[in-house]
């Protein structure tokens, strides 16, 4: 196939009824970045977004305004595509079997810690997410952050080979959103504040990314030095406020007792930074490649984190160590303004490695596609 013609490749996206936002979760950005890369691949004739939901693209509002490809439905995908990458919308197993039978290839692209997500849903009887469905994948692609916890799970459960691929990110989406929603507000750290306004932005919907340890390390830092934190805002926290056990935990913290910490809804990061926050305190558990990190680094904002995948960017603390996290926060506060140029330079160099349109990343994904279709 690779010698005779170029490929038509689709990436699944879930459109629900009515309007939706690109910033509701990271999976939609994953879809866009994947298509951006496919558009640059010499092996790809044309790339598409494939609507696997019940929504009408015409009703999606500005959600698709920045889409790097046109949207087709599942019927069109069956007729047009050589390869489909299941990313946002999950494929129907019967559709997948028919697609394979006609000579198509199916990639399952996994960009979350599905082992933990799936186990939590099974143990706690929650609605299923990406559980084993029976779709006949040719291969599973996943990210370095999930190789440890998920690679063997994927290979065993889906009975398909697993390949670890580069995470992709570009500033193009956040810059376009800023230009259309906040054209006069630069997305860039402003030095000089006497105390920092902190933000915790974990989604709090699965145990791999929650606010609990970030809150605790901020509280430890505040106990050690009350001159660092102006206030702390915990976003994506409305459900937490209704949880009596969490409320008890929060009320044990000095930041809460003293009225310095508040709990807020979800907002896009570009609506928060500068207006409400100067720095981000993050914590994850086997989920260390996140767009929030990249967006913070892009804006030069102090990022206090426990990710091993950011090189020398941000201010690293170890694992679940609140004392080390408090030290990282205090060191960031002491050093960031005077070392801002170097911080931005390191961030730019790192973020370039994620560029979906870079020769290296386009080449790696092109070779993975070629290997897939040649094997088929």
100: Cβ contacts below 8 Å, ≥ 6 apart: 106, 136, 138
Overall CATH class of domain 181-352 = alpha beta
Q: What is the pLDDT of residues 316-371, one digit of tens each?
A: 999 999 999 999 999 999 999 999 999 999 999 999 999 999 999 999 999 999 99
pLDDT, average across residues 294-310: 98
Residue 22: pLDDT band with limits 50, 70, 90: confident
pLDDT score, position 128: 65
pLDDT score, position 323: 98
pLDDT score, position 180: 85
Q: Flag whether pLDDT at 2 surpasses 60.
A: no
Q: Flag whether pLDDT at 126 surpasses 80.
A: no
For the domain bounded by 7-170+356-375, which CATH number is listed? 3.40.50.2000
What is the longest distance spanned by two Cα atoms in the chain? 69
Q: At 336, list the tokens.
A: 């960031």
Residue 137: pLDDT band with limits 50, 70, 90: very high
pLDDT score, position 305: 98
Q: Flag whether pLDDT at 113 surpasses 50.
A: yes
**Cα 306 off chain centre by:** 16
Q: What is the pLDDT of residues 182-228, one digit of tens each?
A: 777 789 999 999 999 999 999 999 999 999 999 999 999 999 999 99
Domain spans, the chain? 7-170+356-375, 181-352
Which residue in this structure is represented by tokens 């386009």?
362
Looking at per-residue pLDDT, the higher value among 112 and 133 belongs to: 112
Q: What is the pLDDT of residues 38-96, one digit of tens each?
A: 999 999 999 999 999 988 888 776 778 888 999 999 999 999 999 999 999 999 999 99
State how far the Cα of 273 lies from the Cα of 197, in Å rounded to an integer.
9
7-170+356-375 and 181-352, same CATH topology: yes
Q: At 191, list the tokens.
A: 């030095």
For a pLDDT cut of 70, what percent of the chain falls above it? 97
| Cβ(30)–Cβ(38) below 8 Å | no
Q: At 13, list the tokens.
A: 């996206």
Q: Which H, E and C letters describe 299-364, residue by residue?
A: CCCCEEECCCCCCCCCEECCCCCHHHHHHHHHHHHHHCCCCHHHHHHHHHHHHHCCCCCCHHHHHH
What's the Cα-to-Cα distance from 46 to each of 7, 50, 103, 231, 363, rounded to whole Å? Answer: 7, 13, 18, 49, 16
pLDDT, average across residues 283-293: 97
Neighbours of 336 (CB within 10 A): 20
> Among 124-133, 184-193, 245-254, where is mean pLDDT lowest?
124-133
Which residue in this structure is represented by tokens 């799970």?
153
Q: Residue 103: left (phi > 0), alpha (psi -120 to 50), or beta?
A: left
pLDDT score, position 129: 62
**Phi, psi (5° rounding) for residue 111?**
-125, 25
């Amino acid at each position: 196939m690779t010698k005779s013609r170029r490929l038509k490749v689709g990436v699944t996206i879930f459109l629900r009824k009515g309007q939706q936002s690109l910033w509701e979760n990271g999976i939609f950005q994953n879809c866009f970045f994947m298509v951006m890369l496919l558009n640059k691949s010499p092996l790809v004739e044309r790339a598409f977004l494939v609507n696997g939901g019940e929504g009408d693209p015409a009703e999606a509002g500005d959600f698709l305004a920045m889409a790097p490809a046109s949207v087709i439905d599942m019927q069109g995908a069956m007729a047009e595509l050589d390869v489909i990458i299941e990313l946002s919308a999950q494929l129907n197993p019967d559709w997948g079997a028919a697609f394979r039978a006609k000579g198509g290839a199916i990639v399952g692209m996994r960009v979350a810690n599905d082992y933990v997500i799936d186990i939590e849903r099974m143990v706690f009887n929650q609605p299923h997410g990406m559980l084993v469905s029976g779709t006949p994948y040719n291969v599973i692609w996943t990210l370095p952050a999930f190789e440890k916890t998920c690679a063997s799970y994927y290979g065993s459960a889906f009975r398909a080979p697993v390949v670890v691929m580069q995470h992709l990110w570009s500033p193009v989406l956040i810059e376009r959103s800023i230009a259309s929603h906040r054209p006069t507000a630069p997305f860039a750290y402003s030095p000089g504040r006497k105390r920092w306004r902190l933000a915790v932005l974990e989604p709090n919907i699965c145990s791999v990314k929650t606010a609990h340890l970030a809150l605790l390390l901020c509280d430890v830092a505040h106990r050690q030095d009350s001159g660092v934190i102006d206030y702390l805002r915990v976003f994506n926290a409305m459900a937490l406020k209704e949880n009596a056990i969490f409320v008890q935990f929060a009320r044990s913290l000095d930041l809460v007792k003293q009225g310095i910490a508040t709990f807020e809804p979800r907002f896009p990061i570009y609506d928060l930074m500068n207006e409400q926050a100067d720095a981000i305190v993050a914590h994850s558990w086997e989920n260390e490649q996140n767009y929030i990190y990249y967006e913070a680094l892009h804006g030069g904002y102090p990022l206090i984190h426990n990710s091993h995948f950011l090189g020398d960017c941000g201010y690293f603390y170890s694992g679940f160590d609140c004392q080390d996290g408090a030290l990282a926060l205090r060191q960031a506060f002491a050093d960031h303004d005077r070392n801002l140029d170097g911080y931005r330079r390191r961030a730019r160099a790192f973020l370039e490695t994620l560029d979906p349109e870079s020769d290296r990343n386009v080449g790696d994904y092109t070779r993975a596609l070629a290997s897939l279709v040649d094997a088929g």
